[in-house]
Amino acid sequence: MTPLRGACNAARRSLVYRRATSASRHFASLHAGPANQSSVNPDEIAHFSKLSQAWWDERGEFGLLHKMNPVRIQFIRQKMLEMRREDGLDDVNMARPLDDMDVLDVGCGGGLLCESLARLGGRTLGIDASASNIAIASLHASADPGLTSTRKGNHTLTYEHTSVEDLLAQRGPKSFDVVCSMEVIEHVDNPAAFLTNCATLVKPGGHLFLSTIARTPLSYALTILAAEHILRLVTPGTHTHSKYINPDELTDFFLRLDSDPASQSAVADPPEVRRPWISRLYGSVPARTEAEMRGIIYLPWKGEWMLVPRGAAGASAWAEACNYLFWVRRPFE
């Protein structure tokens, strides 16, 4: 919740997509547009490639992002363990909750999240539209024998310089148990297309994790006005406030998203067969087995990020105010 957190966001948005750019994109566009038209924005890629050398400097511009990483993983871990219990699997490996799963990180940047996902057991693929990010990420992982070794039982981590639509074309739908995309969507010109592509890659019963910034006066003040223009903590031009997405907009998107997103615009299913990812809301909140939203705040006096506790008073207010994590599960078929 500090302007510093702008730095984190700067760090994540290495993957940039563009459709026909409309200056004042309204959230309604989340529901619009075919999935195959998003493409990479070369200007923004150049912008982040310049920053990429700094990815692993824990005291540099991305310092706060490094600190945010454990909280993201904590959320992913909690949610995965919870859902495995929900599915009646009790032989869960607590140390490696992603064991034997195919995991994708879209917009992996320097590989911060990917390395952690791989350590938790996931067969992890990180993709990024910036070649230099992929180079940095691969170089960093190569120092760590625990990540690069392909010996059975060991972590595996690979990186690819590609976009989510190309990956979808290459691998086909339903390829990953877990798809993550952290602080990317607010930099995408066609978030609906982007989300649809990410969702299509998720296997039935699989998980999609997102993190982003809500579009509020507070987030404007902290991430753009303060962080970029006044304090220059983050290179100006990093954020576009109108692109920020509010939690209810995400919820709304998945309320409408069919269990099989690829089929949605083509053949209209009869209403009784339609199974959206989020089936209904309980007073604006989805069932915890379908989707969940958690705010994350920076505690300056601890120098740490914190996941706003479930059920804490004002928990939803936090999420709506600034940074939040979002999880949604694709229905089984």
Q: How far is the CB of 309 from another protein (least distance, A)?
A: 5
Q: How many CB atoms lie within 10 A of CB 277?
A: 23
**In this structure, how many other beta carbons lie within 10 angstroms of the beta carbon of residue 271?**
6
107 annotated to bind ligand: yes
CB of 77 to another protein, least distance (A): 7
Is 72 annotated to bind a ligand? Reply is yes
Nearest CB to another protein, comparing residues 112 and 164: 112
Cβ 6 vs Cβ 29: under 8 Å: no
CB of 58 or CB of 333, closer to another protein: 58
43 is in an annotated binding site: no
User: Cβ 9 to another protein, closest distance in Å?
Assistant: 16
146 is annotated as contributing to ligand binding: no
> Please, which residue, 30 or 103, has the CB nearer to another protein?
103
Which residues are near another protein by CB under 8 A?
1-4, 56, 58-59, 66-67, 69-70, 73-74, 77, 94-95, 115-120, 136, 139-140, 143-146, 222, 226, 231, 233, 297, 299-304, 309, 312-314, 318
Please state whether beta strands 304-307 and 291-299 pair in parallel, antiparallel, or not at all (unpaired).
Answer: antiparallel
Least separation in angstroms between residue 56's CB and another protein is 7
- CB of 66: closest distance to another protein in angstroms? 4
6 annotated as belonging to a binding site for a ligand: no
**Residue 27 or 48 having the CB closest to another protein:** 48
**Quick one: 129 or 222, whose CB is closer to another protein?**
222
228 is in an annotated binding site: no
Task: Name every residue whose Cβ is closer than 8 Å to that of residue 55 and which is 6 or more positions away in sequence.
Answer: 11, 62, 109, 110, 111, 112, 133, 136, 137, 140
Q: Is 239 annotated as a binding residue?
A: no
Residues paired with 209 in a beta bridge: 180, 327
Minimum distance from residue 59 beta carbon to another protein (Å): 7
**Toward another protein, which CB reaches closer, 199 or 307?**
307
Annotated binding site for S-adenosyl-L-methionine: 72, 107, 128, 182
Annotated binding site: 72, 107, 128, 182-183, 186-187
Annotated binding site for Mg(2+): 183, 186-187
